[in-house]
Amino acid sequence: MLLAPLAWVAGCASVGPVAEAPGTHFDGQGWHAVPLPGKSLTSYRWVEKDGRASIAASADRSASMWRRKVNVPSQHLGQASFSWRVDRLIEGASVADADREDAPARVMFAFAGDVARLSARTRMMFELAHALTGEPPPYATLMYVWEGKEPVDSLVINSRTDRVRKIVLDSGASHLGRWRQHRRNLVVDFRRAFGEDPGPLVAIAVMTDADNTRSVAEAWYGPIELD
């Protein structure tokens, strides 16, 4: 669906009154499911996996997100640390192909910005997403993914909207069955992906989806920390 990449973070384009300080851990508080129009829901639940608190995600021909709204001013943006574990890849999936665009693990960061700067076509898509969900989408979304084929550190622009851009952090089967810890500079990665400085961070989310390939997928996500 054309609007699906925008719909997941609808309602996060405005910044709340209280800003999170650097060093904040985003674990079990404030998270909620975000459905995608026309898609079955992926199951998300808090569990203990390998001795650590984590979000267990299970997709069965489904696509939905587990989201937390935040408020981090752009001048406070720095490093983001998170971890994920995947035991099995999705056969035939590729984040670079709109028809097979599934991934076992994604961590997403949504940013506010001046939507008036965007093209007329993109603004029209935003208006449609707003009408569909009742909430406005964000200015830009930076997504980190575990991909089956694309090389590590690849930058992939979503084929349906250039307001969602992906960086491949793990690829293929070499690290399956164990936790992978990542630490990323959000400012550096946003500049690389979008060619400009980021605005305020207004949402974070995780997503495990297997709707396009009509298959199943499972992943675990550790707490996300900003510092």
Average of pLDDT values for 199-220? Answer: 96
pLDDT of 188 over the 80 cut: yes
Task: Name residue 226's beta-bridge partners.
Answer: 24, 80
Cβ partners under 8 Å of residue 187, min gap 6? 77, 78, 197, 198
Furthest CA-CA distance within the chain: 49
Q: What structural domains does the chain harbor?
A: 4-8+23-226 (2.60.120)
pLDDT of 177 over the 90 cut: yes
Percent helix, strand and coil across the chain, each to the nearest 5: 15, 40, 45
pLDDT of 21 over the 60 cut: no
pLDDT at 4: 55
For residues 91 and 102, what is the distance between their CA atoms, to the nearest angstrom?
10
Output the pTM of the full model. Answer: 0.90
Do residues 159 and 54 touch, judged by C-beta distance below 8 A? no
